[in-house]
Structure 1
Amino acid sequence: MPEASPNIFCVQHSRPVIEQGARSVGTIGTVISNVQHDPTLIDFIASRGLSSLLLSANQVTLHHDVYPAVDPSQLISNQAFQGKRVIVTGASRGIGEDVAFTFARAGASIVLVARTESQVDAVESRILEHVQNAQVEVAVTRAVERFGGGDVLVAVAGTARGITPSRRRIHMIGGMPWKSIVVASSMLFGLTEKYALPHLEKSHGRIIAITSISSQLRVPFASDYCVSKHALTRFMEFVPIVANTEHPKVLAFPVHPGAILTELSKASGYPAELFNDTVGLASAYILHLAAGNADWLNGRYSSACWDITELERDWKEKALEKGALVNKLYLPQ
């Protein structure tokens, strides 16, 4: 079946800024950098790997590109998301752009939200960006008005800062730059629960939030990013608990997309060679989840890099029995 022309709807908003010292810095989707490499920090990250956390290569195969089990070709060919309404936040670049484009190729109607009209003009044929809590209600409301509701919410929007000398000082924690990262990422929480859940409930919808392996790491000088991603991952664990009583038909998936070389990661301060996963793998895995192929991962952390066939075969039963792939304190037995 040929690919249908996607139904794309754009919501635009102006870009907000805050003041940091004497210069203006975007609060969301913008990296505050002046990056300086730190060999000790690089060794710390490299020794742990960016894609293998929780399940290592000797426990499950790690992929760096699209592989047969999550290949989106069939879903695209069958137009599996025809009639489905998908909202993607943070979609004007990188992971979000590719995710939204993949859903569009599979037949979905896409809600695109951009920060400026110029961005709409630049990427309207693919996807735009939505990052501010104040615009969340607008996006969801207009999705309902235009398409009658929503079936999938993919939350990609995020922000980070480079590794700068000021970040080495523990007393800088809690300062405005630190708060801007944590608060900006945390906006997703209110977005999801207040605006999206009621509409997703009507369509047995799914929420897929792009978190990070950093949510499970304690990375020196990156507490803001790690804390914000940990909070996001933890919040997604609560959605099924709330859903049991208020929105029983909504599923939620916190996903590490892999170590992808995006504009955000380029400005992070880490060498490019650490980012060896393709954006296509992340998009394919997210499409796989949205299609209902791994609903047992509802409320559980997973990585796009983990072989999903092996994960289900070797770990599904154990994860469900032991309540694994969620954040908890652990003592070795």
Structure 2
Amino acid sequence: MSLPSLSMPLPKGLSEDITVETRHDIYPTIDPTQSYASQSFAGKAVFITGASRGIGRTTAVVFAKAGAAVAIAARSAGALEETKKEVLKAVPEAKVESYVVDVKDTAQVQAAIDGAVKAFGRLDVVIANAGSVRRFEGTMDQEDAAAWWHTMEINVFGVYNAIRASAKYLRETNGSFFAVSSMAAQVRMPGASDYCTSKHAVNRLIEFIALENPGVKAFSMHPGNVPTQMNVDSGAQDLGIPAEETPELPAATMLYLAGGGADWLSGRYISATWDLGQVEREWKDKIVEKDLLVNKLDVHV
């Protein structure tokens, strides 16, 4: 089956959001210029999965420009080399290590993260960016079971493997952990049960990461609708949802949060498209008081 057209009822969950200005690119609150100038991440180390293209590649460049040593991981050695070239083009003196990793493989992820710590001496930020999506079509009984489960393995087990391997190091540095999630975590629509369920699970997993590691800041982040290959593969644009966010938006958002810009949001779902300055001013008290932006059963009595 095809995705609903705009003349049909929209999928459930699209309105489950907070009302703040929508941002599509870097804006004043998260502007990394000062971090670049001060080298605010000098002496710190970042590990990024899914770093071979798109958001992961851009994030590696952004953190390197702020002074961080960067470990990049993905399945393609050739694509990782391209990312490394991009980082060194932007920051010739950057420290960059690359690891060919399948995030479904617990041992591979552990070895890569241990290797990064050995190379850099510490670990301050882990970004679980690797993800998988297939075209949103077909009901559950029509889908290939292996393909459905593959989405869950990459999107959920991959995040688990990343925190399992890195938690002890992040506790030592009071570091930050990011899972690149999606607004799809809240969306219910035919044909997308694997992807939407996987991202909903990731949001809950972030809550547990924050709960079990009180000194670690953990965030589940919708990166925006960035024109990546995954966005094309999903067919999301057939829903009339434009891919109009830059990859610099989620990258700068993570730099801002890893720098302590909004620690109170740890353990919660956020969107890179939200103006975080406005969220702080207008929503913080309500979010903290009512424990919002977490998975819970919505019951109105």
* 2:295 is the alignment partner of 1:330: no
Cα–Cα, structure 1 residues 44 and 183, in superposed 2: closer, same or farther, change >3 Å? farther
Of 18, 26, 31, the match for 1:66: 26
1:255-290 per-residue CA deviation (whole Å, 9 max, x = no partner) reads: 111111101101111227621211111111111101
| Aligned position for 2:256 | 288
Cα–Cα, structure 1 residues 47 and 319, in superposed 2: closer, same or farther, change >3 Å? closer
Equivalent residues in 2 for 1:172-183 (5 A)? 172=142, 175-183=145-153
| Aligned position for 2:5 | 40
Of 191, 194, 201, the match for 1:224: 194
Of 141, 156, 162, the match for 1:192: 162
| Aligned position for 1:132 | 103
Unaligned stretches of 5+ residues in structure 1: 1-35
1:198-231 per-residue CA deviation (whole Å, 9 max, x = no partner) reads: 0111111110110000011112100000011111
Equivalent residues in 2 for 1:145-224 (5 A)? 145-164=118-137, 167-168=138-139, 170-172=140-142, 175-224=145-194
Task: For 1:198 and 1:116, locate their aligned partners in 2 and report how far apart those are by CA, in whole Å.
Answer: 27
Cα–Cα, structure 1 residues 298 and 120, in superposed 2: closer, same or farther, change >3 Å? closer
If the length of structure 2 is used for normalisation, what is the TM-score? 0.88
Offset, 1:332: 2.8
SS of corresponding position for 1:107: coil
SS of corresponding position for 1:38: coil
* 2:72 is the alignment partner of 1:99: no
If the length of structure 1 is used for normalisation, what is the TM-score? 0.80
Q: How many residue pairs are counted as aligned between the two chains?
A: 286
Write the letter of the residue equivalent to 1:297. L
Cα–Cα, structure 1 residues 155 and 311, in superposed 2: closer, same or farther, change >3 Å? same
Task: For 1:121 and 1:302, locate their aligned partners in 2 and report how far apart those are by CA, in whole Å.
Answer: 31
Task: For 1:96 and 1:312, locate their aligned partners in 2 and report how far apart those are by CA, in whole Å.
Answer: 26
SS of corresponding position for 1:110: strand
* 2:219 is the alignment partner of 1:253: yes
Task: For 2:16 and 2:280, locate their aligned partners in 1 and report how far apart those are by CA, in whole Å.
Answer: 17
| Aligned position for 2:243 | 275
Cα–Cα, structure 1 residues 46 and 125, in superposed 2: closer, same or farther, change >3 Å? farther
1:275-325 per-residue CA deviation (whole Å, 9 max, x = no partner) reads: 121111111111110101100001011111111111111111111111111
Write the letter of the residue equivalent to 1:161. R
* 2:37 is the alignment partner of 1:77: yes
Cα–Cα, structure 1 residues 330 and 121, in superposed 2: closer, same or farther, change >3 Å? closer
Unaligned stretches of 5+ residues in structure 2: 88-97
1:158-206 per-residue CA deviation (whole Å, 9 max, x = no partner) reads: 0000134xx23x3246811111111221223432342100011111111
Task: For 2:11 and 2:196, locate their aligned partners in 1 and report how far apart those are by CA, in whole Å.
Answer: 16
Where in structure 1 do 4 or more consecutive aligned residues deviate above 6 Å?
none
Task: For 1:39 and 1:67, locate their aligned partners in 2 and report how far apart those are by CA, in whole Å.
Answer: 33
Q: Once superposed, what is the RMSD of the aligned Cα atoms?
A: 2.3
Write the letter of the residue equivalent to 2:141. H
Offset, 1:126: 3.3
